[in-house]
Structure 1
Amino acid sequence: MPKAVHGVLITCDPSIKSIIVDINNTRNDIIVEDIDDTHLLIKESMVDMLKRLLDQKLSETQNDQADESSGSDSDKQARPAKKEFWAKKRKGA
């Protein structure tokens, strides 16, 4: 017998959706249905928790970007940017 779940329709950018999907992959209890590139159906009981986790992820990303931009030139040369690292990793794989 089908089970009804209260849900909330979320509309967001594909980049934010990918972060939400990553959060769901670690917890597996947030997304009811992945509708398309910009829409998700989220369990109603998880909306507040998802907002907190998403804010945390976004602030971590902003802090990482601020750290990279505030480093000295010698520090920037010592460690490659993340994009460069992943590009090199893909070429080598």
Structure 2
Amino acid sequence: MRAGIGAVINCWEGVETILAKATADANTMLASWEGSSASAFRNLMAEWLRVMYLANERLKDLDEVLKDVLNEQVAKEGDRAQRMKQLEFNKQLG
């Protein structure tokens, strides 16, 4: 997979979207939970954990994309270094 900055941005925006929604949902649920039962609180926590799981999955995707970008960059730098060595060698010969 040829990754780039666009892939990194897309993954990060996905994480931000999930966390923003989780925060908004949690605030709404907390506001409605006051004075409710322990069952309502358990439901709130279950939803929060579900959203955190989704965010974690997106962060794993982001980690993979970042690894791909880094590997691609390392390969480019390695290719560049090899070309420079070859040019230097050619200069010495020629």
The TM-score range, normalised by the shorter chain, is: 0.3 to 0.5
Higher relative contact order (CA 8 A, sep 6+): 2
Q: Report the structure number with the largest CA radius of gyration.
A: 2
Quick check: which one's helix share is greater? 2
Quick check: which one's strand share is greater? 1
Question: Taking structure 1 as the reference length, what is the TM-score of the superposition?
Answer: 0.38
Question: Taking structure 2 as the reference length, what is the TM-score of the superposition?
Answer: 0.37
